Amino acid sequence: MSHYKLALVGFGNVGQALVRLLLEKQAELRRQYDITFSVTGIATGRHGVAIHPQGLDLESAIQLARAGESLEKLSALAPPSDTLDFIAQCGADVLFENSPVNYATGQPAIDHLHAALQNGMHAITANKGPVVHAYRMLSELAAAQGRKFYFESTVMDGAPIFSLFRVALPAARLIGFRGILNSTTNLILTRMEAGETFEQAVSYAQSIGIAETDPSGDIDGWDAAIKVCALATVLMDTPLKPAQVERTGIRQITLDDVSRARASGKRWKLLCSARREGDRVTAVVAPELVGPDSPFYAVEGTTSIVQFQTDVLGLLSLIEADPSPRTTAYGLLADFVNAVRS
């Protein structure tokens, strides 16, 4: 039986869903994989920091965070000076890094993951920024340390995209991909088809927690662009930054545009694509009209889809319906199991 000490940076919806999933799967992890765990540290931006070498009371941690109270009352140690000090003190074997994404630089998540690897931890994240801005550096450091840098939840939540290519498709060369990777914009466009204005649809997405208070990252295509970059960087071995993606969001699509499209039997979708052209990869995020003959036509609400073209299998599609913090948390859990088993 192998026991692993876990630490979390970030304890919002995804971090709390991860803790609940770990507790739910505790017996299964023990029975199937001989894995037991304790969470020795949680660092948050708004609810303080807690470190306990013997393991934190996780139910209490969730209750405190939801009540807006500090986690520090659960801590056995004095508060660390900053997050890097937390990582050094928490004594974990695995770090889950779930701080907010920085599209432009990937910081401070890159520094968090770097510190985890330097301290001998497996580094697991749902944050797209480090994958786009520091994939090679973090992967090489992980290899040098005999640890893993995994990030399944960065694109399409828990759907097994990166592990699919890493494990199940050896020697398959990815030529290109195309899909709907931002669930928020797909939900907005779906609700506009039902008669809501753009503003009403955005407001609804915010009310259910799908869109941020400032939804520009979704509706202007930044989230979709950084996901394209993550896929190209890892699966096509071609580093790509969001500024290199030809990007147009859905802000200019009106209710009249949507109505005219439906009258002609078509639908607006924010499509993402990347394709290898010689030694280069070109990428585009833009709204497109699709008809019933398209695999993207029937993708509604918060469902996502990506279609891969490889040199050996032709077209291969993955679809994820109705993602949630729980599905993102599952990707983190799967990375944990895969990291320690390997």
CATH number at residue 298: 3.30.360.10
- For the residues 51-59, what does the mean pLDDT come to? 97
At 220-257, the pLDDT tens digits run 999 999 999 999 999 999 999 999 999 999 999 999 99
Band of pLDDT at residue 1, cut at 50, 70 and 90: confident
Number of domains into which the chain is organized: 2
Which tokens in the block code for residue 159? 């759907």
| Cβ within 8 Å of residue 148, ≥6 positions away | 122, 123, 124, 142, 335, 338, 339, 342
Band of pLDDT at residue 211, cut at 50, 70 and 90: confident
Which residues form the domain of 87? 2-158+325-341
CB 76 within 8 A of CB 105: no
Residue 186 has pLDDT above 90, yes or no: yes
Q: Give the model's pLDDT for residue 213.
A: 84
At 75-129, the pLDDT tens digits run 999 999 999 999 999 999 999 999 999 999 999 999 999 999 999 999 999 999 9
Q: How many angstroms separate the CA atoms of 305 and 307, rounded?
A: 7
At 125-184, the pLDDT tens digits run 999 999 999 999 999 999 999 999 999 999 998 899 999 999 999 999 999 999 999 999
- Both 329 and 300 in one domain: the answer is no
Q: Give the model's pLDDT for residue 342.
A: 78
DSSP state of 137: H
Q: Give the model's pLDDT for residue 258.
A: 97
- For the residues 208-217, what does the mean pLDDT come to? 88
- Both 133 and 280 in one domain: the answer is no
- Both 67 and 124 in one domain: the answer is yes
Strands 174-180 and 149-150: unpaired
Band of pLDDT at residue 210, cut at 50, 70 and 90: confident
Identify whether 104 is part of a domain: yes
Band of pLDDT at residue 314, cut at 50, 70 and 90: confident
- Both 282 and 189 in one domain: the answer is yes
What radius of gyration, in Å, describes the C-alpha atoms of the chain?
A: 21
Band of pLDDT at residue 265, cut at 50, 70 and 90: very high
DSSP 201-242: HHHHHHHTTSS-SSTHHHHTSHHHHHHHHHHHHHHSS----G
Q: Give the model's pLDDT for residue 9.
A: 98
Q: Give the model's pLDDT for residue 127.
A: 96
Q: Give the model's pLDDT for residue 318.
A: 96
Identify whether 164 is part of a domain: no
- For the residues 308-312, what does the mean pLDDT come to? 96
| Cβ within 8 Å of residue 290, ≥6 positions away | 266, 267, 269, 271, 296, 297
- Both 154 and 14 in one domain: the answer is yes
| Cβ within 8 Å of residue 170, ≥6 positions away | none
Q: How many angstroms separate the CA atoms of 250 and 34, rounded?
A: 48
Identify whether 108 is part of a domain: yes
Q: How many angstroms separate the CA atoms of 151 and 172, rounded?
A: 20
DSSP 7-48: EEE--SHHHHHHHHHHHHTHHHHHHHH-EEEEEEEEE-SSS-
Average per-residue pLDDT in the chain?
A: 96
- Both 58 and 142 in one domain: the answer is yes
CB 37 within 8 A of CB 71: no
The CA-atom distances, in angstroms, between 324 and each of 24, 153, 327 are 17, 11, 5
CATH for 108? 3.40.50.720
- Both 19 and 113 in one domain: the answer is yes
Identify whether 166 is part of a domain: no
Characterise 249 by phi-psi region: left (phi > 0), alpha (psi -120 to 50), beta (else).
beta
The CA-atom distances, in angstroms, between 131 and each of 65, 103, 152, 176, 317 are 28, 11, 10, 19, 22
Q: How many angstroms separate the CA atoms of 283 and 267, rounded?
A: 22
Band of pLDDT at residue 209, cut at 50, 70 and 90: confident
- Both 114 and 256 in one domain: the answer is no
- Both 254 and 215 in one domain: the answer is yes
CB 246 within 8 A of CB 234: no
Location of structure tokens 């390997």: 342
Identify whether 143 is part of a domain: yes
Q: Is 54 helix (H, G, I), strand (E, B) or coil?
A: coil
Residue 322 has pLDDT above 90, yes or no: no
Q: Give the model's pLDDT for residue 212.
A: 81
CB 43 within 8 A of CB 83: yes
Q: Give the model's pLDDT for residue 179.
A: 98
The order of strands in the sheet holding 314-320 is 246-247, 280-290, 267-277, 174-180, 304-310, 314-320
- Both 132 and 24 in one domain: the answer is yes
Band of pLDDT at residue 22, cut at 50, 70 and 90: very high
The CA-atom distances, in angstroms, between 297 and each of 121, 171, 270, 292, 305 are 43, 31, 11, 6, 11
Identify whether 187 is part of a domain: yes
Q: Give the model's pLDDT for residue 40.
A: 98
Identify whether 138 is part of a domain: yes
Active site members? 227
- Both 207 and 107 in one domain: the answer is no
At 266-290, the pLDDT tens digits run 999 999 999 999 889 999 999 999 9
- Both 182 and 216 in one domain: the answer is yes
Identify whether 165 is part of a domain: no
Q: Which amino acid is at 264?
A: S
Q: How many angstroms separate the CA atoms of 204 and 187, rounded?
A: 9
Q: Give the model's pLDDT for residue 158.
A: 85
